[in-house]
Amino acid sequence: MKMRTDVSLKTRIEDQCKLAGFDTDYLYKHGKKVLKIVHDACRNTALDADDLVEDLCSDSYETDEFRKLSEAVVRLEFFETNYMKDKYEASILRTMRTAWMLKVIDRIKMNVYTFETYGPQFVEILNLCYLSSFRYTGSEAAETIGISEQDFYKKKKYAIIMFALEFEEFKREYEARCSTACMSGEQMTLSDFTN
């Protein structure tokens, strides 16, 4: 029964990829690349954002976080040098781009999660292997999930393929919704993922 389940899972994934017009080998390589970029870009985002807010608000005596941040923005706008304004603006923009990437990744993970029967396990594998600051070995991740190491590596490959497929579907949807007329100024684009 186990062998038949693996074959049917592989067939289901391959069929979904073919219907979308993609080759599983391409999606596997592309998925690994995107996940590596996301991991490298996002692993310390929360800490970086906290440091930025702490640095901005270091002179405030307010106890309320919102008031503290409001005071810091006013001080930055009216009393800091242009150099300091530019420095903080660049940091805030970087943090916002990363936050946008994280929102996209969360949406993609939600779509992977809905893959019948295996989705939740695929998302758990992606979280452990690529979206966590702790580096799990294959055996540690397999033990955490409660599956054999051999099964883990098969499902990891399928999880990466499904992630890449959902990423490509998101990209198509995003590009269809945003014509060149709505792309102006400093808006973030999907190239922020790949550059």
User: Domain coordinates of the chain in residue numbers?
Assistant: 9-194
pLDDT for residue 11 = 92
Q: Where are the alpha helices (DSSP H) in the chain?
A: 2-20, 24-42, 45-56, 65-79, 82-113, 119-129, 138-145, 149-177, 191-194
CB of 138 closer than 8 Å to CB of 127:
no
Query: pLDDT category, 91, cuts 50, 70, 90?
Result: confident
pLDDT for residue 18 = 94
DSSP calls for 80-98: S-HHHHHHHHHHHHHHHHH
Q: What angle do CA 56, 99, 102 make, to 5 degrees?
A: 150
Q: Of 28 and 79, which is predicted with more confidence?
A: 28
pLDDT for residue 60 = 66
Among the residue ranges 17-26, 47-56, 109-118, the one predicted with the least confidence is 47-56
Query: pLDDT category, 179, cuts 50, 70, 90?
Result: low
Instruction: Tell me the per-residue pLDDT of 111-166, one tens digit each, with 9 for 90 and over.
Output: 999 998 899 999 999 999 988 877 888 999 999 999 999 999 999 999 999 999 99
Closest CA to 102 of 185, 187, 43: 43
> Mean of the per-residue pLDDT values for the chain?
81
Torsions phi, psi of 115, nearest 5?
Answer: -65, 120
pLDDT for residue 133 = 74
Indicate if the pLDDT at residue 1 is higher than 50: no
Q: Which residue has the tokens 């979206």?
A: 131
Indicate if the pLDDT at residue 175 is higher than 50: yes
pLDDT for residue 39 = 80
Among the residue ranges 5-14, 137-146, 148-157, 183-192, the one predicted with the least confidence is 183-192
pLDDT for residue 186 = 54
Query: pLDDT category, 70, cuts 50, 70, 90?
Result: confident
CB of 122 closer than 8 Å to CB of 162:
yes
Measured CA to CA, the distance from residue 113 to residue 18 in angstroms comes to: 20
For residue 27, the 8-state DSSP code is H
